[in-house]
Structure 1
């Protein structure tokens, strides 16, 4: 069975490139538009697969052209698709994404078939999953499904990574089942009320998660400033890898996927977070939430070229 199980959203991304976003009621001309496989769950599953891990994908798609293309993409990445739910009465989820000249993005998501996933689907899937080491889950599917998945994973002693995105869908109950959460700046502010602008405020947010929610481990992603690992009261700042950013869509998903891969390999949270920082840096330097995700071979080549290392390279360990 697969080392990593991912449960989450599956979408087709319609990505438009433009110099700047149109204002309300304004019409602007963009550069190009492309259809790309996406969705936070699907992105994270592909991230893990491209980094060399075996992956189960649990999610829901429509019986339509987008669903067929997405399933074909999963199979090309050797991702286990037997747990996919295919529904007739809903279209495959879709995200309309605009990327501007600074590589930042806006996103409008139509959930579609993603909302058809239910607790029975999760129980049925986990009855057949025995050897996964890590569960990777987000909040773009119904909350009851997320909580059921984490409960099932707990019973099988899997390490649970919760990417609390979007933050509006996160409740205290969902947070409590996670072994580590990985909020970005916006999600951290929504959940804690703290605007993270420095290492000090990131530490403050980490303490808030611990003291208010009982979350002992979190990684607060601070975009190009780096990340703050809060682990049982101990804090470690991990610097970002400087790159020329082309597309930030999927950066958080690449980070979550890389984190899961390292944990599956038995690495510590710090080692995993350092690995994830390199993967995310390489991702944002390329276009596409999935097409821009690095393979393990590309990652190793990038590390050699840029004098970087991580636990999987034999030169030295980044600890």
Structure 2
């Protein structure tokens, strides 16, 4: 069983030809209001890929919160451990997506900030019975660290998606069994600008010196570099026609947790997660675009991809 600790947000997504310059007004192509949040997205990735998964999070007592809870439930996520608060409105993200499918975001944390260590105490039984705990940084630092500490006591495998990187501290890195920074987050931690396999390997070794056991340096279209057991392994990206990159990293993280929960090796898990996130970016919506297992199998067949879960 997988437990995800993280944020729940309503994504207000505006589509434009190009981003406006400072002070400039641009006409958009359309706007959508979609369920999102890194925690919810990652939990839904696990659910759509067939896993027993629960989310620990917090939403406001408002129509947006109701909508997010419904999205969890319809995608197979246990919402029993989602706290509802009247002290803040549901988290909201203002997203702009341009014609290259790249995005910018403004995050208003809202109810996500209301999650406390006492809420984690109420979920200790869930965490202890999980095989994997997946966390990110859109909820309070002390809550994430406390959950990781408790999970470590009980031998739960901990994956840290260190986004946004500003909330991550070195003590937190030491509690994770695996971290998954992208290029920008890697530079934040190491000062190394990841441009190729060699620079990614240098950054991974620096993270290892800081106490990180295993890392996956995500390099966008260049794929990923895995650092595990003192060795580096490259997993190439899958070339697709991108439509919407919002939630791509979350689908990667959720798929990674799914594969590791299945007993896959880290390399097999990254190959699986790479295929899931590649298919996701060809579809719109941080949650609606996440593929199911059947959709992933069809994608793999069309690309002659062999993954651990569909080997004969």
- 1:127 partner SS: helix
Q: Aligned runs of 1:269-280 on 2, under 5 Å?
A: 269-280=266-277
Q: Aligned runs of 1:132-171 on 2, under 5 Å?
A: 132-171=130-169
**What's 1:58 paired with?**
56
Measure, in 2, the Cα distance between the counterparts of 1:129 and 1:150: 9
Does 1:6 find its partner at 2:4?
yes
Residue 132 of structure 1 and its aligned partner are, at CA, apart by 1.3
* C-alpha contact 1:123 1:152 (8 A) present in aligned 2: no
Measure, in 2, the Cα distance between the counterparts of 1:107 and 1:197: 23
Measure, in 2, the Cα distance between the counterparts of 1:117 and 1:126: 14
Measure, in 2, the Cα distance between the counterparts of 1:237 and 1:80: 35
Residue 23 of structure 1 and its aligned partner are, at CA, apart by 1.0
* C-alpha contact 2:127 2:133 (8 A) present in aligned 1: no
What is the aligned length?
Answer: 312
* C-alpha contact 1:12 1:95 (8 A) present in aligned 2: yes
**What's 1:291 paired with?**
288
TM-score (norm 1): 0.96
Q: Does 261-270 or 127-136 show the bigger shift?
A: 127-136
Residue 77 of structure 1 and its aligned partner are, at CA, apart by 1.4
- 1:47 partner SS: helix
CA distances 1:179-220 after superposition (whole Å, capped 9, x unpaired): 000000000001100000010000000110011x11120000
Aligned residue among 306, 310, 314 for 2:307? 310
Residue 314 of structure 1 and its aligned partner are, at CA, apart by 2.7
Q: Does 119-128 or 43-52 show the bigger shift?
A: 119-128
Aligned residue among 41, 44, 47 for 1:43? 41
**What's 2:260 paired with?**
263
Measure, in 2, the Cα distance between the counterparts of 1:129 and 1:237: 32
Measure, in 2, the Cα distance between the counterparts of 1:104 and 1:284: 10
TM-score (norm 2): 0.99
Residue 129 of structure 1 and its aligned partner are, at CA, apart by 4.3
RMSD: 0.8
**What's 1:96 paired with?**
94
